[in-house]
Structure 1
Amino acid sequence: MAAPLSSKVGAPAASSKVKPKARVNATQQLARVRRWHAPTPNKLAPVDEEGRPMLAIYSLNTNERIEMAAAGERGGFSARDLDRAAHVLREPASGCEHPMDPRLLDLAYRIQSFFRAQEIRVVSAYRAPRRHRRSNHGLGRAIDMIVPGATDEEVAKFARELGFVGIGVYPSSGFVHVDVRQRSYFWVDRSGPGRRNRERGILGDLAARSDSQAVTRGERPTPPFNPLGDVDAWLRARAPHAPSQMPPDEDDEDDTPDTVDNTGY
């Protein structure tokens, strides 16, 4: 029997904490966004022994990188790899870890594979819930990402077709928010790093159509990930669930993080 994930909700990671950085001005932000989006020269996208693309996650906050072999073309990762992902995608300022939803990592894999990218660069993933503020980040169901070599609009356009997703474009901050949810919702937020959100919903018809097409493909939104017990057995047994079985979505309030250590980028 596989061991349960070692990550504990709200538990600090063993590694040192990352101190928040001071806010940058618009010129500095534009320069670092350009660096984030630039592929690393002479660096190939990782593949496994069978030549299948691997999911590579790089944290811009901690400079940590992992590569994970997928079970198939649509993703699928072992309990051990979910544990590794939870550590790299922890809240950097506090060191708190939280299990990441397996479907979220599957979506990241599909995005990386589609663009044949070297890696997924992460601005923010898990963030400990704050009083009176709700976010899918606090549930381990959201990643603010950059795909080197692709524009944020290109990434958002592809991700909106995946079904049962929240896709937010942040032009000033320079990333795409991707989450898993009961019903798709798309938005644009022009607030800068660490600023109060200025969210504007867009493409409502496309969101509904994307979910409908996902249902036609035989897909359903999955229930929240339960990391207790035999994780590998849970992954094997997970089956489509009807939307009515899902809990209400969390709103993504104050979604722009203010902690990014972009050393090397």
Structure 2
Amino acid sequence: MMPRRAFLKSSIFLAAPTLSIPAFAKTAQAAPGEHTLRLYNTHTGEKLNSVFWAEGQFVPDALQDINKVLRDHRTNKIADMDPELLLLLTTVNAKMGNNRELHIISGYRSPESNAKLQAASGGVAKRSLHMEAKAIDIRIPGKDLKMLQRAAMSIKGGGVGYYPDSQFVHLDTGRVRSW
């Protein structure tokens, strides 16, 4: 019989044209008290279904896989995402009754990428929390964007930005605020 920790480590599904993990890997199933994220990076095509919290603690291998999927796709730089942000995502998912993938528009953003985006657009903050790996831009296919914004705001877990023209909601673990 396989110990639970070993099972969890083997239950990560990460797929992308550039990754070498087998396409037939088992997908993660969360048990009570566990937290799972299902992510799809809209820029890289990578998918992840991972239990990242189990047995009262974060699962290090799962966090590494999440960090890779949420990396800056422009520079390929990886940062350690704020674990509180991951917990916030699971709370938002639960409020939305979502069992599908979260589409990730932006996770970690390197200072170089942030500067380029800021120069090209007035909607990018100079001191963005994306650069601290404390922010993420998401959408949930088939779910109303305004409902996603409201669910995120009701949690009061940090900042919530609503971008209907670009079809995403920004979440961060900074101070509670909205725009």
TM over 0.5, shorter chain: yes
Q: CA deviation at 1:69?
A: 1.4
Which segments of 5 or more consecutive residues in structure 1 lack a partner in the other structure?
1-14, 17-45, 188-265
CA distance in 1, matches of 2:150, 2:68: 29
Aligned residue identity for 2:104: V
| TM-score, normalization by structure 2 | 0.70
Q: Deviations over 1:9-47 (max 9, x none)?
A: xxxxxx69xxxxxxxxxxxxxxxxxxxxxxxxxxxxx76
Shift in CA distance, 158/85, structure 1 to aligned 2, threshold 3 Å: same
The residue number in structure 2 matching 1:62 is 44
Look up the match of 1:178: 171
Residue 116 of structure 1 and its aligned partner are, at CA, apart by 2.2
Aligned residue for 2:60?
79
TM normalised by structure 1 equals 0.48
| 1:178-213 Cα deviation digits (max 9, x unpaired) | 0001x21100xxxxxxxxxxxxxxxxxxxxxxxxxx
Q: Structure 2 CA distance, aligned partners of 1:152 and 1:145?
A: 10
C-alpha RMSD of the superposition:
2.5
Whether 1:95 aligns to 2:87 is: no
Query: Deviation of residue 53 (structure 1)?
Result: 6.7
Deviation at 1:122, TM superposition (A): 0.2
Gaps of 5+ in 2: 1-17, 20-26, 119-125
Larger Rg over CA atoms: 1
Shift of the alpha carbon at 1:112? 1.9
Quote the offset at 1:76 in angstroms.
5.9
Secondary structure in structure 2 of the residue aligned to 1:178: strand
> CA offsets, 1:42-99, max 9 Å, x none?
xxxx762637673111100111011111537xx9631211111111011111111111
Distance 2:30 2:103 in 1: 23
Query: Of Structure 1 and Structure 2, which has the larger fraction of its residues in strand?
Result: 2
Residues in 2 aligned to 1:180 and 1:76: alpha-carbon distance in whole angstroms: 19
Instruction: Tell me the equivalent position of 1:150.
Output: 143
Structure-2 residue corresponding to 1:224: none
**C-alpha separation between the residues in 2 aligned to 1:141 and 1:161?**
19
Q: Percent identity?
A: 29
Distance (whole Å) between structure 1 residues aligned to residue 87 and residue 172 of structure 2:
11
Alignment-derived partner of residue 163 in structure 1: 156
Matched, 1:134 2:127: yes
Counterpart of 1:116 in structure 2 is: 98
In structure 2, what is the Cα distance between the partners aligned to 1:166 and 1:76? 25
* CA pair 70-89 structure 1, distance change in 2 beyond 3 A: closer
The structure with more helix, counted as a fraction of residues = 2
Amino acid at match of 1:92: H
Matched-pair contact (CA < 8 Å) for 1:55–1:70: yes
Matches within 5 A, 1:242-253: none
Higher RCO structure, 1 or 2 (CA under 8 Å, sep 6+): 1
Sort the Cα spacing of 1:76 and 1:177 in 2 relative to 1 into closer, same or farther, 3 A: farther
Q: Do the aligned partners of residues 76 and 118 (structure 1) sit closer, same or farther apart at CA in structure 2, a change above 3 Å counting? A: farther
Amino acid corresponding to residue 126 of structure 1 in structure 2: Y
Q: Check 1:64–1:127 CA distance in 2 against 1; reply closer, same or farther (3 A cut).
A: same
Structure 1 residues 103 and 49 mapped into 2: Cα distance closer, same or farther (>3 Å)? Answer: closer
Question: Structure 1 residue 164: deviation in Å?
Answer: 3.6
CA distance in 1, matches of 2:52, 2:78: 22
